[in-house]
Amino acid sequence: MVNQSTWMDSKSKIETIKKVQGIKAKIGYPDYFEKDYMIKLEKEYAEYNFNSSLMLNALKLNQLNSKNALRALRDPINKNEWMITLPTTISATYHILLNDITIPAAFLQNPLFNNNVPKYINYGGIGFIIGHEIAHGFDDDARKTIEVFHKLKQCFVDQYNNYTLTQVNQQVAGERTKDENVADIVGLKMAFIAYRKWAQSHRNVDKKLPGLTKFSDEQMFFLSFGHAWCEKMSDTVAKFYLIADTHSPPQFRAIGSTSNLAEFDRAFGCKPGQSNSRVDKCNMW
């Protein structure tokens, strides 16, 4: 994708590829869970002596957290350490300072991932998430090409500004959500390319699912992606998305990304301008 980009200078391309290759993946849970789990936990919690007073316990917790944070300043950085994300967190993260992505065990579940389903389901689910997190590593990065980068981003701002969440009759904030929207399209494209590459070397391995036999594998990839964004929200949650969240409401994450992807049009045999497919597609990579 990077090499095929028409707007990046060659120096930026080399740096981008170097950075992608340097991304470390933290999957499931920290390594120490498998060996010195108890020793590490007991050592970490040795000073946490709580009593029956909530107030005093909360103060103690703050005190120990500050102490640990200050101690970390003197310790060498352990790049394998899980910083903010826990194995129980239902979300993936990209860490800009460590250039790593974390996919916790709790997120490696249906509908995003299942070891026993055809690969188009996993590529459309967790594959998309991985692509989305990798894309966050390149939010505001390129140098000479930065101006073109911002111009390309404006296309996404305009597109998402045009979406209205009818449930609460309010517009999506295109400017605030632009980095996430860009990461969505880049992530989806990356996952699709990765799936197609896998499928070429594993012909007829993916089986059809009962009741969904009329769909091709590529169509199933996109259906798996869309399925993950199926959500029923209260009005309060819907409003939160529109006034504070950096992500677009789930339905626009699904239609916004696919509307910009020529690969989606090809998979479903539709032309730009038909239904959800955009004529002037916003693109980044």
Q: Which residues belong to the active site?
A: 133, 184
Alpha carbons 177 and 257: distance in angstroms, whole number: 13
Max distance between CA atoms of the chain, in angstroms, equals: 66
Nearest distance in Å: CB 175, Zn ion: 16
Whichever of 92 and 199 has its CB closer to Zn ion, that residue is 92
Footprint on residues 230-249 left by Zn ion (CB under 5 A): none
Alpha carbons 135 and 1: distance in angstroms, whole number: 11
Residues 33-52: x where in contact with Zn ion by CB under 5 A, - otherwise, as a string: --------------------
Q: What distances in angstroms separate CA 101 from CA 96, 128, 264, one per listed residue? A: 9, 13, 26
Q: CA-CA-CA-CA torsion for 272, 281, 183, 134, nearest 10 degrees?
A: 90
Whichever of 180 and 265 has its CB closer to Zn ion, that residue is 180
Nearest distance in Å: CB 48, Zn ion: 33
- Report which secondary-structure segment, H or E, holds 102: strand 100-104
Question: Packing angle between helix 128-136 and helix 178-201, nearest 10 degrees?
Answer: 130
Residues 181-220: x where in contact with Zn ion by CB under 5 A, - otherwise, as a string: --x-------------------------------------
Nearest distance in Å: CB 183, Zn ion: 5
Footprint on residues 148-187 left by Zn ion (CB under 5 A): 180, 183
Whichever of 119 and 132 has its CB closer to Zn ion, that residue is 132
Whichever of 69 and 84 has its CB closer to Zn ion, that residue is 84
Token pair recorded at residue 48: 């946490």
Residues binding Zn ion (CB under 5 A): 180, 183
